[in-house]
Amino acid sequence: MISSEGKFLGKQVEYPQHYAPEMLVAVPRHFNREQYQLDETKLPFIGLDVWHAYELSFLTKKGLPVTGLLKIVYQATNKAIVESKSLKLYLNSFNMHHFGDTANEGLNEVLTTIKKDLNQLLETDVRLGFFNHGKYKSAYDFSDYIVLEDSTNADHIEFSHYNEAPELLKATGKGGELKAASHLLRSNCKITNQPDWGSCFIHIKGETLPDEKDLLQYLVSIRNENHFHEEICEMIYKRLWDIFSPNELAVSCIYTRRGGIDICPLRVSHEYLLPNELVNPVVLSEKLLRQ
């Protein structure tokens, strides 16, 4: 399993017709963390990466297709992420492969195989959930967040920065707690330059908070940045951590699915700030605007 972020991205690749674990690619986290002075031995956050793969399918030994949504959750403190197109190619390699005499037997084999392969690739314990056509109670973690583009009278703000501009974030001297969201997050894939659309949810508590207009302008300034989703989340977290020295900080980035997969990186200062439903592999959260 090769560690090369550009192995498949931006290239025309023939989809495998049978189970192909060799398609998986790991991307070391330290490449981007070094840019933002994130010491992997003393990270200022804990976190998880949550993935939803909407197109998992395989055949039973009698040829019956089984199809559903795969939820993947793994720690942000391991050494690598899985590159998204490689995961898409890998999961598609199950499509015409036969597993199990029954749908349930096949599903157990497939989930066991995926967990083994991802554990080996990422050197961490990956948790999985599977959801088919059955009814599931959806859950939502962000109901008490204000939406910055609505709360700040955004039509009257001057936006002129479209490359990350941390100088826009200034300490106000006003303390307390802020739970703010924006659906205007956009960044670009660092390999293909394709736009990635998302929503950002920020919970910050401390002696000084960012001004809501400044925070919105900062999030908009990410528009032309070229990073993977996980890297954008850690960049936002690190800027807020350094500038405001909060007592509590949580940054959740919920990105639009591409190629049948969405990625939701979460970085928090304390474990209790993790969004409970989103990080639970056996709970299917309510879809957010950008998913």
Quickly name the fold that domain 21-131 has. Answer: GTP Cyclohydrolase I, domain 2 (3.30.1130)
What is the pLDDT, as a whole number, of residue 12? 58
Is the pLDDT at 5 greater than 60? The verdict is no
Domain with CATH 3.30.1130.10 in the chain: 21-131, 146-273
Q: What is the band of 14 on the pLDDT scale with cuts at 50, 70, 90?
A: confident
Q: What is the pLDDT of residues 162-194, one digit of tens each?
A: 999 999 999 888 999 999 999 999 999 888 889
Q: Does residue 110 register a pLDDT over 50?
A: yes
- Percent pLDDT > 70 in the chain is 94
Of 225, 177, 167, 230, whose CA–CA distance to 202 is shortest? Answer: 177
Domain spanning 146-273, CATH class: alpha beta
pLDDT at residue 45 is higher than 80: yes
Mean pLDDT score across all residues of the chain: 92
72-91 pLDDT tens trace: 999 999 999 999 999 999 99
**Residue 16 clears pLDDT 50, i.e. is over it:** yes
Q: What is the pLDDT of residues 121-131, one digit of tens each?
A: 999 999 999 99
Residue positions annotated with a catalytic role:
189, 196
How far is 170 from 189, CA to CA, in rounded Å? 28
Q: What is the pLDDT of residue 193?
A: 86
Closest to 149 measured CA to CA, from 180, 187, 186: 180
- pLDDT at residue 2, rounded to an integer: 43
Distance CA 192, CA 89 (A): 17
pLDDT in tens, 114-159: 999 999 999 999 999 999 976 676 788 999 999 999 999 999 999 9
